[in-house]
Amino acid sequence: MLSTFLVDLAPEAYAADLEAGEQVFSANCSACHAGGNNAVMPEKTLKKGALEENSMNSVVAITTQVRYGKNAMPAFDGRLADDDIDNVANYVLSQSEQGW
């Protein structure tokens, strides 16, 4: 019964804070990704279609990209807390689903 109780609480207990994710995005990502665009590599936006095309349409994929960087994008591991990275990844995915 205890495991059922913990499973029932898990989604709420570990839900991302999209408001915090928006703040992290504004402070760290918007210079290059304002409005879901990409000022450095215009074809690799944060829009839903581009995320799907580049296999970046999951929280895990976005978290990995933010944490370790790739190509022109710097790594934020060590510069942002794990919770901030998780929150901003969820924010980006949420915004892509809503069309920015």
Percent with pLDDT over 90 in the chain: 85
Distances (CA, A) of 90 to 17, 42, 70: 8, 22, 19
Give, as one character, the DSSP assignment of residue 74.
P
Instruction: Identify the pLDDT of residue 15.
Output: 76
Predicted confidence band at 14 (pLDDT cuts at 50, 70, 90)? Answer: low
CATH code of the domain containing 58: 1.10.760.10
Please, what is the angle between helix 18-28 and helix 82-98, to 10°?
Answer: 100
The model's pTM:
0.85
Is 55 part of any domain? yes
Is the pLDDT at 39 greater than 90, yes or no? yes
Is 50 part of any domain? yes
Domain count, the chain: 1
Give the domain extent around 76: 16-98
